[in-house]
Structure 1
């Protein structure tokens, strides 16, 4: 067993660069797990800087100086940020408040609908089953109420955290954009001078991660805006809140669209029942989801991620469990990074030159 372990270490960690990269990966993993919540503003700013760096590069390509390009792009970002803060956030908050106020009526309608099921379908549903369902529903409502009360009591620290985000994130975005070349040069100075594997992985991942982040942000905006427009035209209540959920659902492949369909269908049912409006809305919602998966995603992500759906779902579950929202958001890039590392990782058999065996024998 010891001989096997030594042989495995010699095969995969005989290269100095592989050892250094392993240490860096372990340090990064430990930092994310232990200080991920504290460094969340930095991660958020890095994502936003990824989104804006392409615009900066386009302006620089047209002859605009670096500082002026950064200033123009940052002012556009700051204006958009303030518009979202002053317009979208109050709208979402108002709709959430109205939804919580209307929940008792919705719950009463649901209980009434359950109570009449034994009369409509006596051969399939009994009153005992309905009683169990109603008790389960009331238990879940109690849990949600307790969570909401505890959330309200802890809202002051959360509000302070939001204020920190509002101040720190724009500042960090500006410096990430302004000093991107300086930061890249400083990071490179800490690494070995000869790092072919790191350069191979970096070349494969840098553009792909940046394109993924930009593409995912554009997808969120387009899907959310199209959903909001459709819901407003059909006069669905809480259109902005539901459109936000639908837009954010694209972050989680496969799972997000299925999960967010439940609140959309429930709100539509409580508003219209099993009427024509309900089925029209669900058809419109289905068309938006189909266009997203079959038209928008191929256009935005022309370089398809060569990962099996099972690998993507496992990556979402694992990285989401370890790192929360950011783990879910970066699940596909992180899985692609692992695949790139496995492809580029040097082994002893790869590094042996044709004459090495003869010279060692002599």
Structure 2
């Protein structure tokens, strides 16, 4: 009976995985809704403790999220659009600089042959593309509207996100209570403990790490813009987003910022030192203040595991897999930690029947 029940659970999990694989093209708005509801639930719970009803708490949180989103649309998006357009215009000049200044210097230092670098074909192709259109928005819209059904589906998914988020956030505690009521009574304590640890890890990551990424993006962008780097906002926010993987943000940011700085300022030393100082200050703030305060030591995901989880999720499930990758990896880490503890307590790990560490003597 126990074996048949175990095989039934395994079959159910396999069926659930198969259904998720089949439905992954439509999962993105629901996953984003679950993420936003999970992030907003503590705020709604705090408002409930202030004697506010659950529905009005959800409405206030929605207003807060809406104001943040509107602020991004009104302030951040136009600035980023200008910098993206500027980057688009500067790309041929950057290729010229790389071909006639940077690469010859590297070639002379490394003793490479005269025909080692071949940028002529790339530059010609890019210049031809730039000559066809200078309206990036028009190009994007023309491709997006090439398929009317695809555009309608994309807009429907976008509008579905706030609807899913509202209902999930309103009924979040009720759904958790019903799920707990469905747990087997004999296993309720263990399952609740596992879910509690998973919640701690996910909360530390989703809330803490996202806040660290936001703070670093603001620090990098503000510092680079104060230095006078033309693409400072774009590079700073890119470095902040890349900080989801430890040390990747500073590597990407320093490489991109120094490249843009050398192209903009030439061989001037002080602007390049100021760019490096921005990232040094950002790393000091992250290591000494942001990560200990916002994240702590509860995640424990190795950087290689983070990279593998993101790549594996994207390969298996596309954008939905990228959204799921790190939460699933954090949950798997908690389960593996408990499996390790069970293994340490099992007879398989225990001592030999003789209780001695000495190898048996030959007969």
8 Å contact 1:223–1:292 — kept in the other structure? yes
Hey, what does 1:356 align to over in structure 2?
Answer: none
> Higher relative contact order at CA 8 Å, sep ≥6: structure 1 or structure 2?
1
8 Å contact 1:251–1:328 — kept in the other structure? no
Hey, what does 2:171 align to over in structure 1?
Answer: 179
Q: CA deviation at 1:136?
A: 8.0
Q: Provide the aligned length of Structure 1 versus Structure 2.
A: 334
| Cα-to-partner distance string for 1:92-113 (whole Å, 9 max, x where unaligned) | 2222112101211111111110
Hey, what does 2:119 align to over in structure 1?
Answer: 134
Q: Aligned with 2:246: secondary structure?
A: coil
8 Å contact 1:42–1:169 — kept in the other structure? yes
| Cα-to-partner distance string for 1:214-238 (whole Å, 9 max, x where unaligned) | 1122112211111121122111112
Q: Aligned with 2:91: secondary structure?
A: helix
| Cα-to-partner distance string for 1:149-208 (whole Å, 9 max, x where unaligned) | 997763336765653354222222211111112333454566545543433321221232
| Cα-to-partner distance string for 1:302-331 (whole Å, 9 max, x where unaligned) | 243234444444334433433445545554
Hey, what does 2:75 align to over in structure 1?
Answer: 87
* Higher mean displacement: 188-197 or 296-305: 188-197
* Higher mean displacement: 302-311 or 215-224: 302-311
Superposed counterparts of 1:77-226, under 5 Å? 77-114=65-102, 116-117=104-105, 121=108, 124-129=111-116, 132-134=117-119, 138=123, 154-156=143-145, 160=152, 163-188=155-180, 192=184, 194-196=186-188, 197-226=190-219
Q: 1:248 aligns with which of 226, 241, 245?
A: 241
Q: Aligned with 1:36: secondary structure?
A: helix
Hey, what does 1:358 align to over in structure 2?
Answer: none
Whole-angstrom distance in 2 between the partners of 1:244 and 1:144: 27
Hey, what does 2:295 align to over in structure 1?
Answer: 301
8 Å contact 1:251–1:329 — kept in the other structure? no
Shift in alpha-carbon separation, 1:282–1:115, aligned structure 2, 3 A: closer
Q: 1:315 aligns with which of 294, 304, 309?
A: 309
Hey, what does 1:277 align to over in structure 2?
Answer: 271
8 Å contact 1:115–1:127 — kept in the other structure? no
Whole-angstrom distance in 2 between the partners of 1:123 and 1:317: 34
Whole-angstrom distance in 1 between the partners of 2:243 and 2:202: 16
Say if 2:259 is the partner of 1:266.
yes
8 Å contact 1:252–1:316 — kept in the other structure? no
Whole-angstrom distance in 1 between the partners of 2:128 and 2:187: 54
**For the aligned residues, what is the CA RMSD?**
3.7
Whole-angstrom distance in 2 between the partners of 1:236 and 1:114: 19
Whole-angstrom distance in 2 between the partners of 1:338 and 1:195: 19
Whole-angstrom distance in 1 between the partners of 2:45 and 2:59: 13
Shift in alpha-carbon separation, 1:27–1:247, aligned structure 2, 3 A: farther
TM-score, normalised to structure 2, is 0.76
Say if 2:285 is the partner of 1:291.
yes
Whole-angstrom distance in 2 between the partners of 1:243 and 1:210: 25
